[in-house]
């Protein structure tokens, strides 16, 4: 049985989210926790894009000569893609701030282990 593109994307998104939750919750290294959070964000972005996918759809650019009713029936929905683009920008800047904080914590404590930094 061949799996369609949207279903494969949904399975991949769920796998990324589960891997990210595991890394953020159970790994002790702070950089690995940040990578896990990035996996969660990427999984959510993939989920949103796969929800906006339309099989056989066209790019949502209205060209001269297109019939309006045909375009509205065949064009994919642009809002999920715009949301994901915004999410990527926010995620990149948030990750930069988290990594900057990790650098400061490493200089202060000399370790990247969360258990040593928190004093457990």
Q: What is the pTM of this model?
A: 0.84
Query: Tell me, what's the pLDDT at 34?
Result: 96
Q: Is 39:22 a contact under the CB 8 Å cutoff?
A: no
| Residue 112 belongs to domain with CATH number | 1.10.287.3510
Query: Tell me, what's the pLDDT at 86?
Result: 96
Query: Tell me, what's the pLDDT at 12?
Result: 96
Give the H or E element holding residue 9. helix 5-26
Per-residue pLDDT of the chain (120 residues; tens, 9 = 90+): 678 888 999 999 999 999 999 999 999 999 999 999 999 999 999 999 998 887 777 777 888 888 888 888 888 888 888 999 999 999 999 999 999 999 999 999 999 999 999 885
**Overall number of domains in the chain:** 1
């Amino acid at each position: 049985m061949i799996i369609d593109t949207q279903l494969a994307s949904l399975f991949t998104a769920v796998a990324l989210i589960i891997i990210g939750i595991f890394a953020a919750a159970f790994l002790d290294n702070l950089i690995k926790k940040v990578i896990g959070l990035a996996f969660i964000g990427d999984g959510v972005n993939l989920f949103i894009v796969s929800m906006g996918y339309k099989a056989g759809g066209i790019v949502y650019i209205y060209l001269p000569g297109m019939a309006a009713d045909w375009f509205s029936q065949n064009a994919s929905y642009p809002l999920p893609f715009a949301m994901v683009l915004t999410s990527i920008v926010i995620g990149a800047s948030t990750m930069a701030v988290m990594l900057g904080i990790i650098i400061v914590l490493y200089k202060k404590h000399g370790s990247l282990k969360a258990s040593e930094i928190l004093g457990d």
